[in-house]
Chain A
Amino acid sequence: MKNCYDLIVIGGGPAGLAAALSAYENGLTDILILERDQVPGGILNQCIHNGFGLHHFKEELTGPEYAGRFIDQLEGTSIELLCDCMVLEITDEKVIHAVSPKTGYLALEAKSIVLAMGCRERTRGAISIPGTRPAGVLTAGAAQRYVNIEGYMVGKKVVILGSGDIGLIMARRMTLEGAKVLACVEVMPYSGGLTRNIVQCLNDFDIPLYLSHTITEIRGKNRVEGVTVSQVDANRQPIPGTEIEFDCDTVLLSVGLIPENELSRQAGVPLDFRTNGPKVDENLQTEIEGIFACGNVLHVHDLVDYVSDESARAGKAAAAYVKGETAVGDYWNITAGDNLGYTVPQRVHRAADGVQIFFRVRRIFANSVIEVTCGDQLLAKFRREHMAPGEMERINIPKALLAKADGDITVTAKEA
């Protein structure tokens, strides 16, 4: 195996695959993907439900099918893929230290790097549920892997905490495999998942959704025996007297995802505390030249289609960087103003060919406007009929409008 590449992509999930393929299409031939699992495809391999690809392929695919389309495209390219390979460290000099049973220890040099490590689930520890510590408390994604790939059923009577999409999907999946899902419990007054998933995963199977409720106790010695669910007030504090008891043997947690940035941090890539991902510019380049980031390691997405698009841009930008064609010059910062949780990118070259900005709002909006301002100057305005924290928004600022900016840019959302 060589020890120097034009581009090394860390992660062979949807983001890594799309980035590598796009870099290849844009003229790089010397590309290596490092994947820690036995096979490429990442989390899509266990997402056996459909609904993927409506934007990208204009048809509805399951996760494995969606991944398969990208994996098939590797065939006939010069892109190298090394699976079963764990990256241990990335240095700011772009040296990658990794191990794999096949190759042993590797120290690889890269002219450019795309970070595509994805994200992981928040666990019980991250949300501190009181009670005992029995078996039977799993993250929804772990349960999904057990059921869909390993072929183990994880429980018979299930309560799901959190109404994120993975939790909703697992409510249906467990039901189809013969379990009884007693309730889905969400601390917020609205669901964190897509409406279609509430309909087809909960309503279709008469699974009740308890909004503004949370689990206040888990009982059981060896195995979960039951949970207490309480209503919460506007400050998310449990209201005494509202307790509901459920006899269940399993609790699945769908309480959020965290971009997996240990490697980025080690490399000295500055992170944004709001996204938990690297700070990037319009080309998805981090603040270390030649290191790019895309997909869920950058910010958590709702749709893989958007991950693929974003990652293709990162791959293209990495190719441009290796060819010495990267944009240079000064930046404007892009700030998340009123009602926005974050923006990606966090800064843009002043002379950029426009910029696509992704963000999430902090609460639900009916008729609303998104305003892009620079000081007192309104650069652009976008109308939306509906916005929710569970749905990532994106806006395009064309070059002509961006050129009008004479300082840092702020994006805000408000009622129309």
Chain B
Amino acid sequence: MKQIICIGCPKGCHVQIDETTYECVGNACPRGAEYAKNELTDPRRTLTSTVVIEGAAIRRCPVKSDRPLPKAMVQDAAKALDEVRIEAPVNVGDVIVENILGTGCNIICARNIAKA
């Protein structure tokens, strides 16, 4: 048995998972079991960060991965975003970086920013 704290929602259930059968106890909803299994097999995290934006009233545009990235690649992906420069206007959902580091995940815009 391994204990994994689910980060699916603010409740933060302490899930006990069997490492071979992936049977779970302690999760208040099914997402906890799925999360715990993924933590053992393929841990992933959503990345949120910023990129440089030009031509806007603010200097940084918030972005996020459109789906969770492999946990081990989160820091590299954040670093890769250091080089990205975008131009206003942008809208929520615009793809900023396609298939970042070959993960199959896109980095998308998370704020509507008008041209200044």
Contacts and interface: CB of A to CB of B under 8 A. Distances in A.
Interface of A: 38-39, 45, 48-51, 54, 60, 62-65, 68, 71, 147-151, 175-178, 194-196, 198-200, 204, 302-303, 391
B75 interface: yes
30 contacts: A38-B57, A45-B111, A48-B50, A50-B48, A50-B64, A51-B10, A54-B9, A54-B10, A62-B48, A62-B64, A148-B50, A149-B59, A149-B60, A150-B58, A151-B59, A176-B75, A176-B78, A177-B49, A194-B12, A196-B6, A196-B8, A196-B9, A196-B12, A199-B5, A199-B7, A200-B7, A204-B45, A204-B74, A302-B10, A303-B10
B78 A177 contact: yes
Contacts of A49: 48
B7 to A, nearest CB: 4
Interface in B29-78: 45-50, 52, 57-60, 62, 64, 71, 74-75, 78
Contact of A195 (B12, B62, B75, B111): B12
Contact of A65 (B7, B49, B50, B92): B92
Nearest to A391: B10
Interface in B60-100: 60, 62, 64, 71, 74-75, 78-79, 92
B83 to A, nearest CB: 13
A51 B8 CA distance: 9
How many B residues touch the partner, as a band? 20 to 34
B112 A68 contact: yes
Given A48-B48, A149-B59, A204-B45, A65 B110 contact: yes
B105 to A, nearest CB: 14
Contact of A150 (B9, B60, B110): B60
A351 to B, nearest CB: 35
B115 to A, nearest CB: 14
Contacts of B7: 196, 199-200
A54 B46 CA distance: 15
Contacts of A64: 62, 92, 110-111
B111 A199 contact: no
Nearest to B46: A50
B116 to A, nearest CB: 10
